[in-house]
Structure 1
Amino acid sequence: MSPITWPEPLYVVDVEGNGAAPPDLVEIALIPMVGGQPQPADALSWLIQPPVPIPHRITRIHGITNAMVEDAPTWQDIAPRVRSLLEGAWIAAHSASVEYGVLTRHLPGWQPTGVIDTLRLAKATIGGKGFGLDALIERTKIDLSNVAGTRHRAAYDAHATALLLNHLASQCASWDALAAKAVPPGMPGRPSASPEEGDTLW
C-alpha cells in the first residue's frame, strides 16, 4: 500500500490495567505510524499510579507491581498530554474495543478520527485460526527481535501490534479498503458499507 494513503497522525495504542471494574490504567503506550511504518524512536509510554492497588493476580499477567507505580504520575497528570497527542488522530490496537473503551472513558469528550482493529483486519485478510496477538505473530513470522521490553507490557505490545498492522496492510489495496475491513461497526472511521464489505463480513 502506498505510504501516501496512510492518515496521520495514527498511533498504535496499548493499555494495561489493574483489574478493577472498570479498570484503572497502570500503563499506556503510543507508537506513531508514519507512511505505514512504526516509529519506535518516537514512541511514548507511561507507568501510571492507579487509585487502588494492583492485585497480585494482575501483576502476574503484565509484571507491573505496586512498587513500580508508587511514584508514577496519576492519570490526571498525564491525561492532557495524551489528549493533545490523540486529538484528531486515528488509533489502532489489537482487539481495539478495549483501548477505545478505556480511552473514551478516561478522556471525556474525546473521540478518535477512526479506530483500526488488527484482530478484525487479520480475520478479513489472512483468515485461518488463531487471532490472539501471539498466535498472529507466529503465523505471520514477524520478527520481534528488535522490539524492546517484554510481552504484556504496553510499549512492547504496541510495537508488536504496529508491526502486525504494517504486515496486514500489505493485503489491502487502499486505506479505504483497509478501514472497511478493520474498523469495527459503530466506531469512528468506518466507511459506508458496500455489499462486499458490510457488517456481515463475519
Structure 2
Amino acid sequence: MKYETWPRLLVVDVEGNGATPPDVVEVAALPLRNGAPDTSTAGAWLVRPPVPVTPFASRVHKLTHDDLKSCPPWEAVREDVRTMLNGAWICAHNASVDYRVLTRHLPGWEPTGVIDTLRLARATYKAAPKHNLDALIQHAGLDLSQAPAHRHRATFDAYATALLLLHLAQHYATWEALVHAAVPPGLPGALEPEQEPTLW
C-alpha cells in the first residue's frame, strides 16, 4: 500500500452522554500522515453536554458531570471541529455511529468519505471470532503504549483505530481496494457499482 496515494484522512471518535440521541462529551480527530498517526496536529475537545452524563455512559468512558461542568458547550467548539474535519475523509470503528452523531451536531457538514474499520476487519479477518475494537487490538498485536488517556476515551480509541486501519491496509494493494472493502453502502465515498452495458 502506497500511503502517499491516500487522500486527507482523519481518524475520529466521539463519546456521548448516554442520552437518546446522544449529546457529545468528547471528540477526537487524529490525522494520518505518511502511514502514521500525527498526534502533533490532532484535535481533541471535551464538551459540557446540555443533559448530564448517565451513570452507564460514565462507567464506560469514566467522564462524569463534575468532570465536564467547566468545559465549553458544544456551540463553543463546533466551528473548530467543523474546520478540522472539512474536506477530509473520516475513519472510525463502527463508523456509521460516529458519522450520524457528527452530522447531527454539524449541520451542513459532510465528509468526503467514511472508512469503517469494523467493516474492513470483517472483510479482512473473516474467521476472527470477534471484530470489536478490543478483540482486534489483541488479534493484530497493536502497540498502544503511546496512546493517550485510556480505552473508551476518544483520544485513545482514535489512536487505536488509526493503528488498526494501518494494520488492515497492509492487506490491500490500492486505496480503491481498501475503499471497496471499508466504506459502508450509502455513506460518502462508497464506490459506484459498475453499470451493465446497454444499447443506449
TM-score norm. by structure 2 comes to: 0.94
Asked if structure 2 preserves the Cα contact closer than 8 Å seen for 1:6 and 1:36, the reply is no
Structure 1 residue 41: Cα displacement: 2.2
Name 1:91's counterpart in structure 2: 90
Q: Distance in 1 between matches of 2:3 and 2:108?
A: 31
Name 2:193's counterpart in structure 1: 193
Q: Secondary structure at the match of 1:58?
A: helix
The structure with the larger Rg is 2
Structure 1 residue 35: Cα displacement: 2.5
Which stretch has the larger CA shift, 85-94 or 31-40? 31-40
After the TM superposition, list the runs of 4 or more consecutive aligned residues in structure 1 that deviate by more than 4 angstroms: none
Residues 1:7 and 2:7 aligned together? yes
Name 2:166's counterpart in structure 1: 166
Q: Secondary structure at the match of 2:10?
A: strand
Q: Distance in 1 between matches of 2:121 and 2:20?
A: 29
| Structure 1 unaligned spans of 5+ | 196-202
Asked if structure 2 preserves the Cα contact closer than 8 Å seen for 1:17 and 1:25, the reply is yes
Q: Distance in 2 between matches of 1:7 and 1:131?
A: 26
Which stretch has the larger CA shift, 36-45 or 159-168? 36-45
Letter aligned with residue 26 of structure 1: V
Q: Distance in 1 between matches of 2:144 and 2:34?
A: 20
Structure 1 residue 20: Cα displacement: 0.6
Name 1:135's counterpart in structure 2: 135
Structure 1 residue 194: Cα displacement: 5.5
Q: Distance in 1 between matches of 2:62 and 2:51?
A: 17
Asked if structure 1 preserves the Cα contact closer than 8 Å seen for 2:95 and 2:115, the reply is yes
TM-score norm. by structure 1 comes to: 0.93
Name 1:199's counterpart in structure 2: none
1:45-98 per-position Cα deviation (integer Å, ceiling 9, x unaligned): 111000011122211111001111101011100110111111111000000011
Structure 1 residue 6: Cα displacement: 0.8
Name 2:106's counterpart in structure 1: 107
Q: Distance in 1 between matches of 2:105 and 2:174?
A: 32
Listed as ranges, the matches of 1:20-169 within 5 Å are 20-128=19-127, 129-169=129-169
Q: Distance in 1 between matches of 2:116 and 2:35?
A: 15
Structure 1 residue 192: Cα displacement: 2.1
Q: Distance in 2 between matches of 1:55 and 1:83?
A: 26
Aligned identity (percent) is 54
Letter aligned with residue 177 of structure 1: A
Asked if structure 1 preserves the Cα contact closer than 8 Å seen for 2:44 and 2:155, the reply is yes
Q: Distance in 1 between matches of 2:30 and 2:110?
A: 18
Asked if structure 1 preserves the Cα contact closer than 8 Å seen for 2:10 and 2:29, the reply is yes
Over the aligned positions, Cα root-mean-square deviation in angstroms equals 1.2
Q: Secondary structure at the match of 2:191?
A: coil
Letter aligned with residue 141 of structure 2: K
Q: Distance in 1 between matches of 2:53 and 2:175?
A: 39
1:137-168 per-position Cα deviation (integer Å, ceiling 9, x unaligned): 10111111111210000000000000000000
Structure 1 residue 111: Cα displacement: 0.5
| Structure 2 unaligned spans of 5+ | 196-200
Letter aligned with residue 69 of structure 2: E
Asked if structure 1 preserves the Cα contact closer than 8 Å seen for 2:19 and 2:54, the reply is no
Q: Distance in 2 between matches of 1:132 and 1:73?
A: 31
Q: Distance in 1 between matches of 2:11 and 2:107?
A: 20
